[in-house]
Amino acid sequence: MDTDDTTSAGLLDHIQRQSSDPHRRILFTGATIVTMDADLGVLARGDLLVEGDTITAVGPDLTADGAVVVDATSAILAPGFVDTHRHAWEAQLRRIMPDIDDLGAYVMTTLAGYATVYRPQDMYIGTKLAALTAIDSGITTMLDFSHNSRTRDHSDAAIQALLDTGIRGVHASMGPHFGEWHRQWPGDLTRIKSQYFSTDDQLLTLRLATLSTDEIAGPALAYGPELARVAQDLGVGVSVDAVFGASSSEAVLGWAKAGILGPDVTLIHATGLTAEAWQEMGASGTTVALAPTSDAQIGLETAVPAVDEALAVGIRPGLSIDVEVALASDMFTQMRALHAIQRMRAVNAAYGTDQHVMRISTHDVLDFATLQGARTNGLHGVTGSLTPGKKADLLVIEAEGLNNMPLNDPIGTIVLGSDARNITAVLVNGEPRKWDGQVLDVDLPALRSQVYASREYILNNSTD
């Protein structure tokens, strides 16, 4: 990010000093702009204006009186990535089981073991670490599927961590699978909404999190008419995890019959479902969150991310990280894994025949990681594209680094060439959260100390 006569640090200082001004203007100039807006497309060279927390203009040769001007000539501007499903509280246990190949082993080690000894402060540290890492790698919106809400204090700690990082967070609350807990969920959601989510125009939103069936943790956590009514009464969406296989297919058909599918419901994984289940999902407009590396690496049902099945019924899915105990933390990995797996399957299925195969493109997976992710989280009117009127959740991506130059195709460069080191700046809701390649407002030594202390407590006190 080139800043001409003004240092980048000076620009940041100027921007931050005006942070309380709702009319503050930041004008990015000379960038290649990947809008992910069907009408605006890609601008080979253009400008983008942020006023307060909102994108107000995208186009060539913009002017704005009093704006802080950031020369982005050697950069790509893109929407922030949207993570539709991550169990953020697990972050201090990252890659503790990198070669796990069985869902049951994950469940017993993490959910029946480590999770049971988490204190509220451990929830806070794990969630904060996950959110800061998300920002560092360009994820501006993260749905935290917080399924370790043992007490109201655990829930409060997870929400506070999202607030303290400045990410656009979605707190999806669920009671734990195993161990002792206060049984305050889902009743406590009424208090949570009143205390933290009292308006629609705020950085954090609330969803109800649940499971597809009662096989793992019993009927209290399984989606059905009762929990659907809870969500409806609260006016929140629903995220349903562990949707895979024959039992989930039967559950989907039951939800369709009960009229509790729809655009406000997200089904996570959706691996190994029947054609009949997919037909009901497509007909109802239900959204889907894929977890490409989770399905493939852990081996969930067919182990194949269900992108073809989703597209066949008109669902354009969002993407997600899932569990950092075994998987990568960033969206670049998810996009590349899905792009490679789908194209491999398509070509392999047609090998030796004259059959035409449908292969997804880099534009498709970037769409899944941005606009469709926002739709999946119920935020498509807020974020997911660089559309005037949407909130300013955006990335500045270095295009002339060793791994990206020369810039030929900007979408291909984002999906196949870039990584966190190329993201020089991240804005969330118009506020800089990463600048000059550094995440802001983080005392890294203090955070590191807290993370290690939390990890040691968990490992020393769990039964695993």
Do residues 110 and 37 both lie within one domain?
A: no
Do residues 224 and 359 both lie within one domain?
A: yes
Taking alpha carbons only, the member of 171, 176, 202 closest to residue 189 is 171
Do residues 119 and 167 both lie within one domain?
A: yes
Do residues 74 and 100 both lie within one domain?
A: no
Boundary of a domain, candidates 360, 376, 392: 376
Do residues 173 and 223 both lie within one domain?
A: yes
Would you say residue 241 lies in a domain?
yes
Do residues 104 and 196 both lie within one domain?
A: yes
Distance CA 309, CA 326 (A): 26
Do residues 300 and 340 both lie within one domain?
A: yes
Boundary of a domain, candidates 327, 361, 376: 376
Predicted confidence (pLDDT) per residue in 374-415, tens digit: 999 999 999 999 999 999 999 999 999 999 999 999 999 999
pLDDT at residue 200 in the model: 84
Residue 399's CATH number: 2.30.40.10
Would you say residue 453 lies in a domain?
no
Residue 168's CATH number: 3.20.20.140
Predicted confidence (pLDDT) per residue in 149-205, tens digit: 999 999 999 999 999 999 999 999 999 999 999 999 999 999 999 999 998 889 999
Would you say residue 327 lies in a domain?
yes
pLDDT at residue 4 in the model: 42
Burial 362-371 (b: 16+ CB within 10 A, else e): bebbbbbbbb
Would you say residue 20 lies in a domain?
yes
Would you say residue 328 lies in a domain?
yes
What's the token pair of residue 328?
A: 């990568």
Distance CA 426, CA 395 (A): 5
Do residues 229 and 134 both lie within one domain?
A: yes
Do residues 352 and 392 both lie within one domain?
A: no
Do residues 312 and 335 both lie within one domain?
A: yes
Cβ contacts of residue 267 below 8 Å, gap of 6+?
212, 240, 243, 252, 281, 286, 287, 288, 289
φ/ψ (deg, to 5) at 207: -135, 160
Cβ contacts of residue 218 below 8 Å, gap of 6+?
none
Q: Are 49 and 25 in contact (CB under 8 A)?
A: yes
Domain range enclosing 307: 81-376
Would you say residue 447 lies in a domain?
no
CA–CA distance from 52 to each of 27, 168, 265, 277, 424 (Å)? 11, 16, 31, 44, 21
Do residues 32 and 155 both lie within one domain?
A: no
Residue 369 in this model has a pLDDT that exceeds 60: yes
Do residues 308 and 388 both lie within one domain?
A: no
Three-class DSSP category at 246: helix
Number of domains in the chain: 2
Three-class DSSP category at 352: coil
Which pTM was predicted? Answer: 0.96
Cα torsion 441, 445, 449, 455 to 10°: value is 70
**Cis peptide bond upstream of 406, omega within 30:** yes
Average pLDDT of the residues in 29-35: 98
pLDDT band at 464 (very low <50, low <70, confident <90, very high): low
Average pLDDT of the residues in 430-453: 97
φ/ψ (deg, to 5) at 132: -65, -40
Would you say residue 448 lies in a domain?
no
Would you say residue 456 lies in a domain?
no
